[in-house]
Chain A
Amino acid sequence: MKLKIAPLLLLALILFIVTVFSTTIGTAHISFATAAKIMLAQIFSIEKNWSMREETIILGIRLPRVLLAALVGAALATAGCAMQGLLKNPMADPYIIGMSSGAALGAALSFTLHLPTSLLSFITATITIFAVYRISKVGGRVPVATLLLSGIAIGSFLAALTSLLIYMARSPHQIIFWLMGGLWTSDWPKVRIASLMISLGIILLYRYSWNLNVMLLGEEQAQYLGINTEDVKRGVLVSSSLITAAAVSVSGIIGFVGLIVPHIMRIVTGPDHRILFPTSTLAGAIFLVFTDTISRTILSPIELPVGIITASFGAPFFLYLLRKQGKKIHA
């Protein structure tokens, strides 16, 4: 398999441009060149010809939000890609086995009990996946169909609990806003923690690229080719849960990115995870930075939850690709 480097370089370039561009957007006008220089000055030594105020706006306010958007987008698209490949199910997304319901319950609890939302949603999301995995385990094996079904069952159970909390809550809009997903609480500490967990999880997932390719041929064939499929399942589930939980805990439940971005990339690059993973990561980052910029400017000064934008921009684009390709869509 000869790897295609060109699309990766192109996507990395687009990501850089979109990132810089979106930091220039806002009430205070800052030019693209200035924004780019302020950012690059953090890495390279560049002669300073901008004001302290501009630097504070870019580095202190806008950049953490844009970076968090990129991280969350990368995490969701990569995890979605992994789940689609592992479950061989085109409907799969990072949340499919109950992750979102677990995180939502944690967030709802945190608002009720006045505890830190990120921490609690991360914990409940992780516990959920662990429970789903344990319940699906039959005689040392985890059949994919059982995993899906028990994920859906536990998910609906937790969703019912969350609905109950929302119904009983004094200010339910807090929880509801969180459920729609948004990046308005971004700050540097969140960027640091998220980047650590997400990059670790993504690197771990990349290591399974080849095995996931072989497992697309079927689990039994993969075993005949020397792959311990249960190890792969566990590793992929743990890594993608880690990055999804990290993403959800800082941004709420942003839908669509993890479902659609991997599909679009699959249409473009084909099923080889060794190229599909990195392109999905980059495209997910680009997509969420782009849509988040729209969500905070389209009705300025009102900010929309980014989840609304991701679906309303992503769905038509995906349908267009689907029709244009005229191909069957596979996981």
Chain B
Amino acid sequence: MLKIRNLKVCYGKREVLRGVNLDVEEGELLGIIGPNGSGKTTLIRAITGVIRPEDGRITSRGEDLSSWDRKTIARHIAVVPQSVSIDFEFTIEEIVLMGRTPHLNGRENPEDYEIVRNSMRETETVHLKDRLITELSGGEIQRVIIARALAQEPEILLLDEPTSHLDIRGQVEVLHLIKKLVKNGITALAVIHDLNLAAAYCDRIALLYNGQIMAHGRPESVLTRENIQEAFKITVTVEKNKTNSTPIILPEVIKN
């Protein structure tokens, strides 16, 4: 569905991504892993056109995204950013309604509220409707932001470390929710730091290292001892989950 060909992105003189080729298939959850500074967030920003690539093409269903304006992109692709801290006292319903922005022409109508309600239902945030965003926990905020993304009615969902600020329960809940959304037909690309969670939830994984895709494919073929050692510079042992044979990565304790 989403095809990235020969993507090159620079910040000033520094090449952050080069020669990136990546396909996101319709209805899959693709995980992006890689060490800090490997270009994961830049990839998301390039897909949404927030930064202009130096070279390369990004197409969705065969259409070149670089010719689309912000509104059209936002109707097609929604982003759940890394961490969201909102100091302003908007209610949850207001925050989710902001997801309707690319569809609004003047004032919102009952249909927009219907979509907002459905998005909140899917993310189990309906009960938070009238609470203020400033009062919620990290996990709740993340579900609200996902609801906002769904209100955009996108075909593709990009998530930038959606679980990095959450405790283990929050992480599992959010990934479970994403998995459910993918099952319901959305296509998702998620940057995930935790290799084990990525292995457990993603259909496929791409390992980004030094601005390039080092490996991509099924979790067990990407998350090998050698790949991880090269990308992250640590030694790990890779075991297999007995029930579903997804890889489990155990870092070796560093001894002084």
Q: Given A217-B84, A270-B89, do A225 and B101 touch, yes or no (CB 8 Å)?
A: yes
User: A220 touching B81 by the CB < 8 A rule?
Assistant: yes
Q: Does A8 contact B (CB under 8 A)?
A: no
Complex Cα–Cα for A271 and B101 (A): 17
Q: Given A1-B97, A220-B50, do A226 and B88 touch, yes or no (CB 8 Å)?
A: no
Q: Does B216 contact A (CB under 8 A)?
A: no
User: A271 touching B88 by the CB < 8 A rule?
Assistant: yes
The residue that A1 contacts in the complex, of B69, B70, B86, B94, with Cβ under 8 A, is: B94
Question: Nearest residue in A to B76 (C-beta to C-beta)?
Answer: A226
Q: Does B42 contact A (CB under 8 A)?
A: no
Q: Given A220-B50, A270-B89, A271-B89, do A228 and B70 touch, yes or no (CB 8 Å)?
A: yes
- Min CB gap A327→B, angstroms: 9
Give chain B residues whose Cβ lies under 8 Å from the Cβ of A221: 79, 81, 84
Complex Cα–Cα for A218 and B71 (A): 17
Q: Does A148 contact B (CB under 8 A)?
A: no
Q: Does B152 contact A (CB under 8 A)?
A: yes
Q: Does A300 contact B (CB under 8 A)?
A: no
User: B89 touching A226 by the CB < 8 A rule?
Assistant: no
The residue that A210 contacts in the complex, of B45, B70, B101, B152, with Cβ under 8 A, is: B101
Q: Does A322 contact B (CB under 8 A)?
A: no
User: A225 touching B86 by the CB < 8 A rule?
Assistant: no
Q: Given A221-B81, A221-B84, A271-B89, do A226 and B98 touch, yes or no (CB 8 Å)?
A: no
User: B94 touching A214 by the CB < 8 A rule?
Assistant: no
Most central of A217, A218, A223, A270 by chain B CB within 10 Å: A217
- Min CB gap A87→B, angstroms: 14
B87-143 residues at the A interface, CB under 8 angstroms: 87-90, 93-95, 97-99, 101-102, 104, 108
User: A225 touching B94 by the CB < 8 A rule?
Assistant: no
Q: Could you say which interface size class chain A belongs to?
A: 20 to 34
Complex Cα–Cα for A224 and B69 (A): 11
Interface of A, helix, strand, loop or mixed by DSSP: loop
User: B90 touching A226 by the CB < 8 A rule?
Assistant: no
Complex Cα–Cα for A328 and B45 (A): 32
Q: Does B207 contact A (CB under 8 A)?
A: no
The residue that A227 contacts in the complex, of B95, B101, B152, with Cβ under 8 A, is: B101
Q: Does B197 contact A (CB under 8 A)?
A: no
- Min CB gap B61→A, angstroms: 19
Complex Cα–Cα for A250 and B93 (A): 43
Q: Does A112 contact B (CB under 8 A)?
A: no
The residue that A271 contacts in the complex, of B48, B90, B98, with Cβ under 8 A, is: B90
Q: Given A217-B86, A270-B89, do A226 and B94 touch, yes or no (CB 8 Å)?
A: no
A176-225 residues at the B interface, CB under 8 angstroms: 210-211, 213-214, 216-218, 220-221, 223-225
* Besides A1-B93, A217-B86, A218-B81, 18 new A-B residue pairs in contact (Cβ under 8 A), listed by A number: A210-B101, A216-B88, A216-B90, A217-B98, A220-B45, A220-B50, A221-B79, A223-B48, A224-B78, A225-B99, A225-B101, A226-B72, A226-B75, A228-B69, A270-B89, A271-B90, A328-B87, A330-B88
A-B contact pairs, 29 of them (CB 8 A): A1-B93, A1-B94, A213-B94, A213-B98, A214-B101, A216-B88, A217-B88, A220-B50, A220-B81, A221-B79, A221-B84, A223-B48, A223-B50, A223-B70, A224-B48, A224-B81, A225-B74, A225-B98, A225-B99, A225-B101, A225-B102, A226-B74, A226-B75, A226-B102, A226-B152, A227-B101, A272-B90, A328-B87, A330-B88
